[in-house]
Amino acid sequence: MARALLGVTGSVAAIRTSDLVTALSQAGHEVQVVATEPSLYFFDPTTLNVPVHRDADEWPASRYHRGDPVLHIVLRDWADLLILAPLDAQTLARLALGLSDNLLACVIRAWDYQKPLILAPAMNTRMWESPVTLRHLRTIFEDRAGHPWQADWSLETAAQRFAEYLPRIVLIPPQAKQLACGDFGIGAMAEVATIAEAVRAWNQLSPE
């Protein structure tokens, strides 16, 4: 089974963190969590039976000494795949722009793209449909594939583009439903079972 590193960001969908950890663990995967500080508003890390890392864990309380472990590299090396679920608009922007201003962003910036990266965005409908969202997805695609933007690039075709040209980056689009804010539209994180199935599919393709 896979060593799955779950990156949890500050979307309301972070309330599903416990469900997702349970689903991955029950499937036999070894799970660790990297949580952004805003995500901790939506779930209690002490209720998870897996390690949870946050920004304060990046460096020890005492001053750094040469040879001390660098947590975002340790986690990068440990993981077989990285799951960003929920992936909020802020972290999508960090991924596209290469910002590395928290522990999870450092893991993403240092990620080995020979290993899978699973993206499960979650945000308000107007945030998802913003031209900025499509621009960030295109930037991630072009930076990794070196492929020119397609005339038919859209939010509806983005997952297919990644699957065709960058299969190690799995985009699981959000779904349409009534959102936590009361709006109805596309933006809710995909179902936990859908995300767990993406991990299972990759694990089947991985060599023993």
Active site residues per annotation: 72, 181
| Residues sharing a CB contact under 8 Å with residue 3, sequence separation 6 or more, in sequence order | 29, 30, 32, 78, 79, 80, 81
Whole-angstrom Cα Rg for the chain: 17
CA 109, CA 151: separation in Å to the nearest integer?
A: 28
| Residues sharing a CB contact under 8 Å with residue 149, sequence separation 6 or more, in sequence order | 138, 141, 142
Tell the residue number behind the tokens 């939010």, with chain if given: 155
